[in-house]
Structure 1
Amino acid sequence: MGKKEKKKETESVKISKKKEVKTEQKSNNGLHVASLISFLLLIGLSVLAYRVYDDLTHIPDLPKLDLNKNWGLNTSEPRDTSIRPYRVIFSDSMDSELRWLFEVYRRTLKKKSFEDTAWTYGVHTDAFGKIFSHWVFKYSFRDRERYFNKFEQFRTNVQGLDVHYVHVKPKVEKNVMVVPLLLLHSWPGSVLEFYEAIPLLTKVRPGYNFVFEVIVPSLPGFGFSEGAVRPGLSPNQIAVIMRNLMHRLEHKHYYVAGNGIGHNVGADLATIFPDEVLGFHSSSPVVPTNRAYLTWILGAIWPTFVAGGDADKLYPLADKIMFYLEESGYLHLQATKPDTIGIALQDSPVGLASYILDRIMIMTDPSNKFDPDGGLDKYYSYDKLLDNIMMYYISGSITTSLRFFKENFDDYEVENAFARMPTPVPTWGLRVKNSFSYSPDFVLRWKYPNLVGTTSYDFGGQFIAFERPTEFVNDVFKAVKAFLALKK
């Protein structure tokens, strides 16, 4: 063998050894990565297991809350806590400003949505064009201003914040009992969610010896209620403000109904003040605890055992998780950077409308995103949708409303503790077909041991009072009748 052949063979051996070393290194790296992933999974499962164990064995104590904490500007001046009439005004200057912004948008060269994608990429330009056209040519500012003011409205200062609310008292005969009902709205909803329900709630109906005095507040930071000037106004703190508002109106005992974030506030209200809340009606009945989440995950082994005939609301597990990942991006954004998105939305009424319409579309019925028009006209009139958008725009409240999610996220440990505390208040759950969340009755009873009943509708979404006011009112009457029967 010549020198050249020996040299080639030596180089070949070296290359082969290098490849073996690299392969071994890759294999070792792979083992290290797998070990790291396994270690992290073990830690994650251990933390979850501990939290579930803690849920099962430990009931948190009720945190001490300052019932008079000031959320407004610090001032030595005495606050005016009187109840003042309030009226919504669509000013001429606002009208002119909006018309100018509409014209700017109308003249802008717009990127068209893809064909055959419907709302799977978000709001479709053609569908939005129809709503925008209605806004420009058919939405009567004067008529809608009258609609906003169809009920008596007031503001009063509670814990440093001017709180706006609608207050409607029924006209009844002496033999009919009047019971106070506090209605708590959702996001991106407003007090307007209940405008069509209010006349039905305040009207006597056959088979019922009671009727409602309705109080519908704009939650702090929403609509015409002031937002906090400092961080910390989480759902349990808002619950305290709502309770103090009811005391201001001379109601020491009352019923509560809420959906979406209104459910969060209502659940905390019932937990903190069980001797005041006579009954709690939730259109979003869910228990957001680690124990409930683990039950959901393990239930994938036998879905019907966990959810019975409603198994499709929780399973297949993989499909539900993918859906939540796709549709929960707004939650992460609002829970981390609310002011960033708030500035962008408040600057443009068209941008604000697009953002809100996308959420109403999916929260009403997830299948809407496959409808070229977003399915919105099947559930709401364009005037109703635009009214709700105008509520945010004319009040300038979109940023402060988004902060609700960050405050909730930042106060997670306390809110989680509230979710684990059994609430003795009589409770009723209204389940709708397209709710994002679902808890079986046995899970609801972990939080609400006095669960009087539940209703399941094969229709409806998160904004059930806005979408189907008659059906919502029917269920509230049925629930309160059951609550009253417990006293006999």
Structure 2
Amino acid sequence: MQRVHFLKDSFLSLDVFHKQIVIGTAVAAGVALLYIQHRRCHNKVQTIPLGEGWWGAGEKPQSEDDKIYSFEVKTSDDEIKELQERLDKTRYTDPLEDAAFEYGFNSTYLKQVVSYWRHEFDWKKQVAMLNTYPHFKTKIEGIDVHFLHVRPTPKKNQKVVPLMIVHGWPGSFFEFYKILPLLTDSRNDLAFEVICPSIPGYGFSEAPHKQGFNSLAAARIFLKLMERLGFLQFYLQGGDWGSLITINMAQMKPQCVKGLHLNMFMSRKGFKVMLSLLIGPYLPFLVGLSREDVRRLFPFFEKNVWNILRESGYLHIQATKPDTVGCGVNDSPAGLAAYILEKFSTATDIENICREDGGLERKFSLDDLLTNIMIYWTTGSIVSSMRFYKENLKTNIDNRIDSKTRIFVPTGLAAFPGELMHCPKSWAQMKFHNIVSYTMMPQGGHFAALEEPQLLASDIIQFVRKVEL
């Protein structure tokens, strides 16, 4: 009898369990329908205003020089000598035992980086390498804007399309030096004429002299740059801040943007995200999640929320008081290296936090990493680059018009597993109305162009081919 009662109770329990699933599914479906209805009733704003701005020193003049000038990266013996003297005077603090990169940049490994920088790194050689591509400057809204303009070698029956690629922080235009030859390869049936600007306040682009220069201002300036170069229609590509800037460009002038490709992207907040987090681990197909989405997202707190909290301390500093910490890193080359390279460590692979060398040389060479740092050091642009966080985050960015505006241009999304926050296609569709391609990348992190240039280039090419067909 006990066994009978046990079986009966088990069947009853299963019946209750099945009912719970059915009820839960029905509730989920009901909420999803409410969400769809909400979205249909929501006013879809397709464009945002260009606005206007003046970022030069003093008052805006009646006219502005709109000529484009050739530019060459230069250095000098005095510049190198002064750097070496500062490196020789670096003060170090011993790391805690077995701390790896859990407390930040491990100073034992920092000594190795500084030693290589001081005794082996050849800045003059790297300057010559930087100048292998043509550089230019032009004044827009009162500030000099630096950019590369790289054309492919003409080939019969080859389609050439213009593409602007935009970097983020703490990167620079140099991030794209490995991907440029892949995009401009004359052996392909499709090649790109690439325009690669430095965000104002970064590298060789002049820093804004007035408060308020955010991604919307950068987007407007880059649209003016493309117009000045004679491009009526073009493609855009971006990651990090470059992602937001190119999104804003597509929102401002969708008629000019043939396609938008991103290797960092986020969704809107809403019912769909909440449902995905609640149901996704158990019934992912109900909320449009794939097995790979589940693997990358869950457990959500451990794989996303905790990592973001742990890795975003710099963001809170730069979004509030960038000039304070900027005083230190702008004055110490070793401090600048530690501050920047720590991001190249954990933003590439979160597991690098457990490695004493931060895993930096697993994916990058010290020459490449130090070249990027030298662009910040020689231009003294670290403080102005950090201010970009303050300008974009001084108010709730969710209340800005661009956050409430969907993107309607053809969009390609490359989801690299090393990004701190994974965004499933079902989430991305809430923001990007016309996703032409969504690729789950097999490897790579935040600095995709420098880390996995072949993967990123191939994804850009396949996306543009789909749009052009």
Tell me the CA shift for residue 115 of structure 1. 2.0
How many residue pairs match? The answer is 430
User: How far is the alpha carbon of 1:185 from its aligned partner?
Assistant: 0.5
| Map of 1:311 onto structure 2 | 294
Aligned to 1:132: 114
Q: Would you say 1:199 and 2:181 are equivalent positions? A: yes
Query: C-alpha separation between the residues in 2 aligned to 1:475 and 1:64?
Result: 28
Where structure 1 has 5 or more consecutive residues not aligned to the other structure, the ranges are 1-50
1:110-125 matches, cutoff 5 A? 110-125=92-107
**Greater C-alpha Rg:** 1
Match of 2:371 among 387, 402, 410: 387
Query: Which whole-Å CA distance do the structure 1 matches of 2:38 and 2:207 have between them?
Result: 35
Note the C-alpha offset of 1:480. Answer: 0.5
Equivalent residue, structure 2, for 1:96? 81
The answer (yes or no) to whether the contact 1:179–1:213 under 8 Å persists in 2 is yes
**8 Å contact 1:182–1:215 — kept in the other structure?**
yes
Q: 3-state DSSP class of the match of 2:429?
A: helix
Q: 2:47–2:254: 8 Å Cα contact kept in structure 1?
A: no
2:322 aligned partner, one-letter code: P
Runs of 4+ displaced beyond 4 Å: 51-57, 60-64, 290-293, 413-416
Deviation, structure 1 residue 395:
1.0
Give the SS at the match of 1:255: strand
Mapping of 1:203-214 within 5 angstroms?
Answer: 203-206=185-188, 209-214=189-194
> Alpha-carbon deviation of 1:417?
3.5
Residue 347 of structure 2: which of 359, 363, 367 is its match?
Answer: 363
In the alignment, what sits opposite 2:27? none
Write the distance in 2 (CA, Å) between the matches of 1:349 and 1:408: 27
Distance 1:422 1:66, change over 3 A: closer
Structure-2 change in CA distance of 1:328 and 1:56 (3 Å): farther
Counterpart of 2:330 in 1: which secondary structure?
helix
After TM superposition, give the deviation of residue 134 of structure 1 in Å: 0.9
Distance 2:47 2:187 in 1: 41
Q: Which residue of 1 aligns with 2:250?
A: 270
Q: What are the Cα deviations for residues 437-488 of structure 1, in whole angstroms up to 9, with x where unaligned? A: 2221122112112101111112100101011111111111111101111xxx
1:300 Cα deviation after fit: 5.8
Q: Do 1:153 and 1:165's aligned partners in 2 also have CA atoms closer than 8 Å?
A: yes
Deviation at 1:90, TM superposition (A): 1.6
Q: Deviations over 1:54-86 (max 9, x none)?
A: 878534646864544212122436322110111
The match for 1:244 is 224
Report SS of the residue matched to 1:447.
coil
Structure 2: 5+ residue stretches without partners? 1-34
Whole-Å separation in 1 of the counterparts to 2:114 and 2:98: 21
Alignment-derived partner of residue 375 in structure 1: 359
Say if 1:398 and 1:175 are closer, same or farther in 2 by CA, change over 3 A: same
* 2:121 is equivalent to residue 144 of structure 1: no
Summarize the alignment of residues 186-335 of structure 1 with structure 2, pairs less than 5 Å apart. Answer: 186-206=168-188, 209-290=189-270, 294-295=274-275, 297-299=277-279, 302=282, 304-305=284-285, 306=287, 307-309=289-291, 310-319=293-302, 320-335=304-319
Cα drift, residue 292 of structure 1: 6.1
Query: 414, 419, 434: which is aligned to 1:435?
Result: 419
Structure that is richer in helix per residue: 1
What's 2:25 paired with? none
Give 2:373's aligned amino acid.
I
Q: TM-score of the superposition, structure 1-length normalised? A: 0.83
How far apart in 1 are the matches of 2:223 and 2:134?
20
Query: 1:275-328, CA deviations, whole angstroms, 9 ceiling, x for partnerless residues?
Result: 010000000132243556535543466473443212132221221322221111
Paired residue for 2:443?
459
Task: Summarize deviations over 1:387-419 as a string: whole Å, max 9, x none.
Answer: 011111111111111111111112534765423
Which shifted more, 119-128 or 416-425? 416-425
Corresponding residue for residue 403 of structure 1:
387
> TM-score when scaled to structure 2?
0.87
Return closer, same or farther for 1:232/1:288 CA change in 2, 3 Å cut-off.
farther
Pair 361,303 (structure 1): closer, same or farther in 2 beyond 3 Å? farther
